[in-house]
Amino acid sequence: MRAVVLNEFGGPLVVEAVDTPVPGAGQVLVRIAASGVNPLDAKIREGKAPHARNHPPVVLGLDLAGVVAEVGPGVVGFAEGDEVYGLTGGVGDVQGSLAEYAAVDARLLARTAKAWSLREAAALPLAVITSWEALVHRAQVRAGQRVLVHGGAGGVGQAAIQIARARGAEVFATGSPRNLETIARLGATPIDYNATEVADYVAAHTGGEGFDVVFDTVGGATLDKSFTAVRTYTGRVVSALGWGTHSLAPLSFRGATYSGVFTLLPLLTGQGRDAHGEILREASALGDAGALRPIVDPRRFTLDTVADAHALVEAGASTGKIVIDVP
């Protein structure tokens, strides 16, 4: 099969002929139709993501959508011809999705929503799983709450807005001026973080009480701001990028709580993979209910032009999620 191989960190992405994998026990062979591109993919390529635990040569690509071509021994619940999606590789030296086929742990997969194209499905796994773990597993978002999403126009932020709204919360999201329209389109109240101080938007949107849940998808100083934007006593801050050094004093003075999300852990350790499949099944149900759909960049890329897609993601020049077609 054809696959995009990274032979050394910082080197070019090369299309090579490699052996087509054979599904083992508990695996299905997926004929990949599309591969979603995340900022993490570009960081891995450059060797700037040691937590991904890759050792070149590797096939990159975290998210996939495609069709089951073969079912391995012991797999139940999937059949040849099923359209599936998942966060299935690209880290821990597990083959990624920039290839024509992948042998995938069936626990990581779910059937796609009938309402989505395979391109749309490929845009979702990392973003949906990260958001679901943050908002549902950690923060238990529910109706009547006010939720603030930092970075609402990014892939994770877009999924988070839709998931929180589907659970009945009132959602607010920060973004740069060029992203405010996207945030509003998704049903959240947009907040221009360049023009509005934390104290001002907390006062304007919560009467000074703070948000019930703050989900940080940006990290750094934005996580510090999250600690000052959360409600006293019952507030929860969750971050997908809480890797820096931060003062917990503002959070402690509010008696609020903090949780971190590390979405790659089941792929890296083998533990908790069933939870990823379950999250994606829930997401598919939301998709068919009309409550979850990604914004996909209309530009088309193939295995031969993956480098161009990575460059767009690194430059922040996309108008939605970048997806690679695997014809």
| Each residue's pLDDT tens digit, 119-138 | 999 999 999 999 999 999 99
Q: Is the peptide bond before 57 cis (omega within 30 degrees of 0)?
A: yes
Query: What is the average per-residue pLDDT within 190-217?
Result: 97
Residue 3 banded pLDDT, cuts 50, 70, 90: very high
User: Over the range 11-23, which residues count as b (16 or more CB within 10 Å of their CB) and which as e?
Assistant: eebebeebeebeb
Range list of H helices, 8-110: 39-45
Render pLDDT for 249-261 as a digit per residue (tens, 0 to 9): 999 999 999 999 9
Query: What is the average per-residue pLDDT within 165-178?
Result: 97
Residue 83 banded pLDDT, cuts 50, 70, 90: very high
Q: What percentage of the chain exceeds 70 in pLDDT?
A: 100
Per-residue pLDDT at 150 exceeds 80: yes
Query: What is the average per-residue pLDDT within 143-147?
Result: 98
Render pLDDT for 274-284 as a digit per residue (tens, 0 to 9): 999 999 999 99
Per-residue pLDDT at 319 exceeds 80: no
The contacts of residue 55 (CB under 8 Å, 6+ apart) are: 93
Torsion of CA 75, 287, 169, 204, to 10 degrees: 130
Dihedral (CA of 106, 265, 308, 216) sign? positive
* pTM of structure: 0.97
Mean pLDDT of the chain: 97
> Helix 273-288 vs helix 125-132: angle between axes, to the nearest 10 degrees?
100
Q: Which domains are delineated in the chain?
A: 2-124+268-325 (3.90.180.10), 127-260 (3.40.50.720)
In whole angstroms, give the CA distance from residue 44 to residue 40.
6
